[in-house]
Homo-oligomer: A and B are copies of this chain.
Amino acid sequence: MTDSNKHACASLENLYRIFTVPEAPDSTLMQLDDAISDNMIGFLQQHIVAEETDLLEIEKDFTNTDIPEEPVFVSEQTEFLLEKVVAQSVHTASPSFIGHMTSALPYFMIPLSKIMIALNQNLVKTETSKAFTPLERQVLGMMHRLIYQSGEEFYQRWLHDSHQHLGAFCSGGTVANITALWAARNRAFGADGEFRGIAQEGVFKAFKHYGVDGAAILVSKRGHYSLSKAVDVLGIGREYIVAVDTDENNRIRPDLLQKKIDLLKKENVKPLAIVGIAGTTETGNVDPLDKLADIAEAEGIHFHVDAAWGGPAIFSRAHGKLLKGIERADSVTIDAHKQLYVPMGVGMVLFKDPAALNSIEHHAQYIIRQGSKDLGSNTLEGSRPGMAMLVHSGLNIIGRQGYELLVDQGIEKARLFADMIRQSDDFEVISEPELNILTYRWAPASVRRVLVDADPDVRKRANDILNKINRYVQKALREHGRSFVSRTRLTPKRYDQQLITVYRVVLANPLTTTEILVDVLEEQRQIVTDKALRKRMNQLQELLGKNAA
């Protein structure tokens, strides 16, 4: 045997080893594995660096694009991940991380995920998923029933029917929304006489056949950007997202929606779908779904509800009624990795009519054969992991009452925080919490008093300065690393629809305490006194007069 052959054999042995020999219990990797099992909270606290490092600095550890010729030891890679990736990741599970929709996970999700990953099923086809297929269909049935309450007989009839689908699992809300609008588009421009349908012939021939100049999706101006992605992907065009104005609580105005529909029809543009929002991403508001359903019904338009965030509010007897009308939606998006507390990334789209997904059906010989129970035939994605197992576990282990508590305490906490802000002298609530999201900004009462009566131009300039101050405060808070609120811009009526920079708070982590909320305000107050802001403060004072600072 030559030397080079010996080397190759040695490597082949190594290769078999990584597939057959477990990591040693005392290896760095398995110690981390144990540490997560024993105390995930401790693991995250210990290993994630709180204080923010500049992204440009972090990037320096990720510049090599050469794939190593020789393998790197598992221990070496683990050390790298620990020092450079884990340490510089975001502590999304922290109770003071209240700026985005990614929150803590229940402990049981971690070992269950490990089982799921070890099984490595592929849901595209029953031959690579077996029991996972009926499991996924069951979960879709559970969520469908939660929303539509269609009765036992309905579910017994359709749950496992190979030609019908109560919904689809996917990687997240964006794909869910695209899937819903895809089905809506294909149904609106279905086969008709010699025309074989938009799925077959495309948008161009469909519009020609139906004699329309366009098709539009109507949604409030608070609609998620995934809808704009959706109309781009679907060949409808981003200009055909018709953004309808909202009331002062960020809820779509049905009267204006109706006007837009009338206008579209005059312009020979077909209204393809009305999208109601149950939990706007920025402010957590819920559209008047029942009124939207009325309009959709009267006009014969597909009614989709984007409940990616707010869907689980249905679990709450106290707040579920906010979503009244969702049961009349043709399709509903719900994210499991948001308020079902399942790891990233899994979403669902549910369809009232179990035949709706047939409009996007695809088949292939070697996979997803016609008439089979293969799930790949009615999903946008192909290969998919068995995340349904985690949703199933959440629904069972947390249960209806558990999710209700999670929803209720989040909303209570948001109201409490809004009260705290109102009672403070130096902050202003911009959007009231309807669910568990609110926005606010630093704007002392003295400034606000002057602002109200100020000349519109002065008000505008003052708000511009406040925007810069609040932007600074949000960034500084993030950099300190003790807590995190996000930032967005809203156009409140009280400020003449001017773009106002606000802090956005999402209260989904059950471990977030009142003390944490107190501390956030206190730290923001501190940041406001930063030397770096002195110039802005002076500008504000000059503009508004001494009374305002």
CA distance A380 to B229 in the complex (A): 7
Which of A389-397, A526-534, A536-544 interfaces with chain B?
Answer: A389-397
Number of copies: 2
A452 beta carbon closer than 8 Å to chain B:
no
Q: List 11 A-B contacts (CB under 8 A).
A: A23-B37, A36-B114, A58-B134, A67-B395, A67-B400, A77-B397, A85-B132, A102-B121, A170-B171, A172-B384, A343-B385
Q: Are A39 and B19 in contact (CB under 8 A)?
A: no
Tell me the smallest distance from the CB of A286 to a CB of chain B, in Å: 18
The residues of B that contact A74 with a CB separation of less than 8 Å are: 108, 397
Q: A438–B488 Cα gap in the complex (Å)?
A: 55
Known: A44-B118, A55-B134, A202-B236. A37 touches B65 (CB 8 A): no
Chain B residues, Cβ within 8 Å of A400 = 67-69
Bound-complex Cα distance A322 to B531 (A): 63
A225 touches which one: B14, B63, B185, B362 (CB < 8 A)?
Answer: B362
With the chains together, A282 CA to B109 CA distance in Å? 36
A32-B115, A59-B134 known; A128+B487 contact, CB < 8 A: no
Q: How far is the CA of A518 from the CA of B119 in the complex (A)?
A: 26
User: Contact: B203 with A204, CB < 8 Å?
Assistant: yes
Q: How far is the CA of A70 from the CA of B395 in the complex (A)?
A: 10
Given A67-B146, A335-B383, 8 more A-B residue pairs with CB atoms under 8 Å apart are A19-B509, A20-B511, A67-B399, A77-B397, A114-B117, A120-B344, A203-B204, A366-B486
- Among the stretches A155-163, A441-449, A456-464, the one at the interface with B is A155-163
Does A323 belong to the interface (CB within 8 Å)?
Answer: no
The answer to whether A294 has its CB under 8 Å from any CB of chain B is: no
Is A416 part of the binding interface, using a Cβ–Cβ cutoff of 8 Å? Answer: no
A382 at the interface (CB under 8 A from B): yes
Asked if A238 is at the interface (CB within 8 A of a chain B CB), the reply is yes
- Measured as residues with beta carbon below 8 angstroms from the partner, the interface class of chain A is 35 or more
Q: A100-B122, A389-B81, A511-B20 are in contact. Are A114 and B33 (CB under 8 A)?
A: yes
Q: Is the CB of A489 within 8 A of B365?
A: yes
Chain B nearest CB from A476 CB (Å) reads: 14
Please measure, in the bound complex, the distance between the C-alpha atom of A362 and the C-alpha atom of B229, giving whole angstroms.
7
Provide the bound-state CA to CA distance between A138 and B66, in Å: 10
Q: Is A413 part of the contact surface with B, judged by Cβ < 8 Å?
A: no
Q: Point out the residues of chain B lying under 8 angstroms from A132, CB to CB.
A: 85, 89
A18 touches B108 (CB 8 A): yes
- A467, CB-defined interface residue at 8 Å: no
Is A427 part of the contact surface with B, judged by Cβ < 8 Å?
A: no
Nearest-neighbor residue (CB-CB) of A76 within chain B: B396
Bitwise, A170-194 to B at CB < 8 A (1) or not (0) is 1111110010001001100000000
A228–chain B nearest beta-carbon distance, Å: 6
A345 in contact (CB, < 8 A) = yes
Contact A64 B138 (CB under 8 A): yes
Residues of B within 8 A of A128 (CB): 90, 92, 100, 102
A72-B397, A120-B93, A131-B58 given; A113·B114 CB < 8 A = yes
Is A134's CB under 8 angstroms from B239's CB?
Answer: no
Residue in B25, B32, B92, B205 whose CB lies within 8 Å of A121: B92
A225 to B378, CA, bound (A): 12
